[in-house]
Homo-oligomer: A and B are copies of this chain.
């Protein structure tokens, strides 16, 4: 039996950490003081459940409820997500998956049941990737997709070194990432998109996850006087960035599937009467189809080449993250669907638009995800919301899937 009220309370308590009274929501960026406080709270809750807490070298936190037969080398059933946030975030993205997993383990503890297979709750480092790229970094390192030493040497948008910040907040563990290979991995998450709500469906059975392409583009033009420089003699880095934004919107509209976003832009010198000499901006491209994603990347590259020539500016691009679309394990997906059916929850199979740690863990173990609806499809926003009863349904479904996978 799941203690739903406690899970909801814990979501609220964790959500208090990093609250931004002025701009709304909470800002608990990876490896900040706020995130450290969040980690401390989760570790405290893990210890209260008498779990075996381990931290690995990239700072991933694991709390394991050991089976009787586990000498330490058994492959556990793993559930997890992350507790870092974007700027002015909601309280659910990531945290829900971690605290629901703790609620599942708590149900075992309360029932006095030692499971037949060890169960691990994971909170992965730096899933959001807004300070250090790529995103899903902790799970990527864990799955062997990025050497831990490379990850530790990542320089953030604020100029800090990830390894230094990890040490500073006291979460540079000793465990080698990937030392514990999960038997299976389940991640419960809010949808963060509008589909479930629009179709009035309670549960999303996530069978795949779209590809993600992150680039940073730098346009180097010429600063000059806004009042004296004829339009045709300008090399305006800001204007070139603007044409990329409008180009990307058309590119996305043309396929109807590709998503394109410029979330970050900085100009230099960024003053009212000086033509911008430099613009640095991010491009986030996504598509469930790898070939179409590659086409979008190619079209963008061609556009940049032409723009550089036509406008007399230099353009360089740096790849910040690139993940191919992922198809989740069909056995696990079927199991989630079967449980949803048994509960009588309306459900549908779907694609995840957001990146998730499950996508990385899928490289080393069967993985799948469960979604619950997001009100208004809003996420990465203080107004992110899912009703408590929907959160509780998701957690009960997770518990059911875990129980069946363990006894199977």
Contact = CB atoms under 8 A, between A and B. Distances in A.
B282 A272 contact: yes
Given A241-B242, A242-B245, A265-B265, A273 B380 contact: yes
Contact of A88 (B210, B223, B244, B355): B223
B238 A245 contact: yes
Interface string A267-282: 1111111111100001
B238 A265 contact: yes
Nearest to A286: B227
- Oligomeric state, in number of copies? 2
B381 A272 contact: no
A236 B224 CA distance: 29
A380 B225 contact: yes
A265 B273 contact: no
Nearest to A241: B242
B249 A263 contact: no
Interface residues of A, number: 71
A142 interface: no
A242 to B, nearest CB: 3
A214 interface: yes
Contact of A263 (B86, B260, B275, B320): B275
Contacts of A135: 273
Interface of A: 23, 86-88, 128-130, 133, 135, 191-194, 210, 212, 214, 222-231, 233, 236, 238-239, 241-246, 249, 252-253, 259-277, 282, 284, 286, 320, 352-355, 377-381
7 contacts: A87-B269, A226-B259, A227-B286, A241-B242, A242-B243, A243-B245, A264-B271
A161 B353 CA distance: 46
Given A210-B227, A226-B263, A252-B231, A273 B239 contact: no
Contacts of A277: 381
B284 A225 contact: no
Contacts of A191: 228
Nearest to A321: B272
Top 4 nearest A-B pairs by Cβ distance? A193-B228, A228-B353, A242-B245, A226-B261
Given A271-B86, A274-B263, A380 B223 contact: yes
Contact of A381 (B23, B87, B223, B261): B223
Contacts of A268: 23
Contacts of A265: 238, 265, 267, 270
B262 A224 contact: no
Q: Choose among A133, A191, A253, A277 the residue with the greatest number of B CB atoms under 10 Å from its CB.
A: A277
A273 B86 contact: yes
Contacts of A226: 259, 261, 263, 284, 286, 380
A76 to B, nearest CB: 29
A192 B227 CA distance: 9
